[in-house]
Chain A
C-alpha cells in the first residue's frame, strides 16, 4: 500500500501471561483523522505506547513513509515526527509557555546559554501558527486545560510532528473548548498531518474522524470509513462476541437486603447521589467507563475517602465509616483494583498476607499463633486452589491470578457481610479468571452480598444478578441480569440503547 504515513503490521505485545495485543495492523494516511475505539482494556493504550516508543512490541513491523523504523524509543519516535497529546498535558506548571516550548524543542546541553529572546519569538510564532491567543510569557499554571493542550500541540508542530496522537483530549473540556480543539484538528488535517484520535464519545468520532478502527481484546476488529457507519454498528463492533456459557450460573434466590446506600455522595471522589441495594447472595455488577466514578464509589464505601453526605445501611442499621478500619470492623471487605499496589504485600509470606485483616479476632491477646495461621493459609490454598510452594512463600513468587486469590482470601478470612470487588480479574490469565468467577459465585451462594466493579463487559453480564451502570459519578441505570452487551455499553456511553 502506498501513501501510508504510518503502517503497523501484525504487532503483538504481552505483559506476563496477558496478551495485550494479538497481531494488530493499523494504518494512518497523511491528512487523515483516524479514530481508535474500544472498550477499556481492549488494547488502545498499549498500541499508542508502542507507536510513541514507550513500549517495545514483541513482534510486528512499524513503518513510517514505507520505511521500517526498527526499534522505537520515545526519543526516536519524537525525531520521526510522532507526538502524543494526553488528557493531562505533560507540561511544567511553574515555567512559562516559552520556557516549556523551548525545553521541548531545543537539543541544548546543560551548559549552553539560553537565548530568551529567540525562545519567546519561537513560542510566539508557533502559537500564532495554530491560531492560539496565548502569551508566551504566561505561566502554564495560569492556563486553562484546553490552552495547555494548545501549547502541547504547538510544541508537537514545532518539533515537526507529522503524526499527532490525541488520547481523550476532550474528557475535561467544555463544549466550547471542544469546538476550538476540533477546529485546530481540522486545520492540521488540511496541512497534511495524520492524527490518531481516541475518544469514548461516539458523537465526536462522527463529527471529526475520517476512518475508525475498533479494537477488542487486543485484536483489530475492522477499519471502516466513518461515513459508512452509525453508532449502533460501532457499539456492536466494540462489544462483539456473545457472552458464552462459561460463567457459573446463579442457583440461589437473593435474600434480604444486606447493604444499602441512600443519596450517598463523596465530593472529593466525584461520587454524587448514589442509591443502591445489595441483597444477601446477590452479585450486583457495577459497569461504566473508566472515570465514571466506580472505584471512587468503592473507596468511599470502604472509608478511604469517606463520604460527606448520604447514608450507608448494613442490615437496616445506619453505619458510619470514616476509615478502612471502621469498614473492616463493620464487616465490609474491599479487594482493590491495583493488586500490585494495594492488594497484597509482595515481600510478605502468603500466610501473613491472609491474616493481616483479622489480627484482633484471630490472635486474641496479640500473641501470634503460627500453627493456626499456617492451617488457615493451607485451608485457603486448598479451597481457592492457589498455586504456591507453601504458606511461607512470599506473595511476590505467585502469578497475578494467585496473588488476587491471596487478596481475596484475606477478606474471606475476615468473614465479611459485604464484599466489594474492583476489577477482580484484571490482568489475570484465562484459567485463573474462571476459577475466580467460580469462587465469587460460591461466596454469593453462601449469603455474601457482592458488589463487583468490572470493565470487562462479558464478565459483568455473565456474573451479575443485576447491573448498575455508572456515568459521571452516579448510577444512571439499573439493568436486569443477562442484559445485552450493547445495552450496557450504550448506557455507559450515555447513548440511547441501539434499536430501542
Chain B
C-alpha cells in the first residue's frame, strides 16, 4: 500500500476528475470525441513508456520532440515515395533507433550528462530539419491516413497498439532480467557494475529503445492527418516527462513503474478537454497541469 502510494494517489485524482465530469459534464463521455482524445494520447503514451525507462535508468532525453519531427518527415517522405506501409513503419522505427543510439552512444560511451547531450541534439535536429525542409509540409498519398481503414477503426488501432506496447513494456520491466538491470543501474550504477551488470550497455540500449518508440509514435501521429507538419512534436518532451514524473517515477532514478506513467498521462491529457466541458476558460489548462506536476514533485520530496 505504502509502496504504491504515488500510483494510487494519482489514480485517486484521476477517478475524482472522471467522477466530476460524469456528474457535471456528462457530454465529456460522448464516444467519438473521447476516441479522438484517446488516439491522440496514445502517441504520447508510446513515447512516455520509453521516457519512463530512460528516467528509471537515471538519465533523461529532452530531444524526443525533435527526433519525433525528424521521424515524421522521414516517414512522410518514404510514404510519398509509395513505399509499402509496413516498410515505412519498419524504416521509421529503425531511423528513430539510430537517432536514439546517437544520444545513447554519447551518454554511455563518453560518459556525458544526458541533459546536455539531448539538449544539443534537440536543437540540432530541429534546426537542421527546419533548414532542410524550409517549413514545407509533406503531402501523404491516399491509403496512408488511418492505415487505409475508416477513421474509427484507425483510431481503435492506435489505441490498442499503444496499450499493447504499454503492457509488453510493463511486463518486461517486472518480469525480465533486462527490466531488473534498468532499475539496478538507475538506483546505483556502481553496485550494478560490481555485480557484473553492464551499466553503459544498459543505458545505451535504453536510449535506442526510446528512439525506436519515438519512430513508432511518429507513424501513429502521421496516420491521423493527410499531411506531415515538419514542426510536429514541438514541446513533446515536456508533456512526456511531466506524465512520467506525475506517474511516480523518481527523477533520481531506480523507482517507478509504467502503470503509474499510464495513469499520470491520462490525468494530464484529460485536464484540457475537462475544462472545456466544465465551461472553464481553457487558458487554465497549462496552469493546472503545472500544479499537478508541482504536487507530484512535492509528494516525492515529502516521501524522502
Which residues of A approach B to under 8 Å, CB–CB? 302, 304, 323-325, 327-329, 334, 336, 341-348, 352, 356-357, 359-360, 363, 366-368, 410
Contact = CB atoms under 8 A, between A and B. Distances in A.
Given A342-B190, A343-B191, A347-B255, A356 B176 contact: no
B195 A410 contact: yes
Interface in B181-218: 181, 183-184, 187-188, 190-198
A363 B181 CA distance: 13
A325 B198 CA distance: 7
Contact of B196 (A329, A343, A346, A366): A329
Given A348-B187, A367-B175, A334 B180 contact: no
Contacts of A341: 190-191
B191 A359 contact: no
Given A324-B196, A356-B197, A344 B191 contact: yes
Nearest to A363: B177
A324 B177 contact: no
B196 A345 contact: no
Given A302-B194, A341-B190, A348 B177 contact: no
Contacts of A342: 190-191, 194
A347 B197 contact: no
The 5 closest A-B pairs by CB, nearest first: A328-B196, A366-B177, A356-B195, A357-B195, A359-B177
A324 B194 CA distance: 6
Interface residues of B, number: 22
A357 B195 CA distance: 5
Interface of B: 174-178, 180-181, 183-184, 187-188, 190-198, 254-255
Contacts of B198: 323, 325
A225 B281 CA distance: 84
B180 A345 contact: no
Contacts of A356: 180, 184, 191-192, 195, 197
Contacts of A359: 177, 180-181, 197
B176 A328 contact: no
B191 A366 contact: no
B194 A336 contact: yes
Given A304-B194, A345-B192, A347-B255, A366 B176 contact: yes
B187 A334 contact: no
A345 B191 contact: yes
Given A356-B184, A366-B178, 10 more contacts: A324-B195, A341-B191, A344-B191, A352-B180, A359-B181, A360-B177, A363-B177, A366-B176, A367-B176, A368-B175
Contacts of B187: 345-348
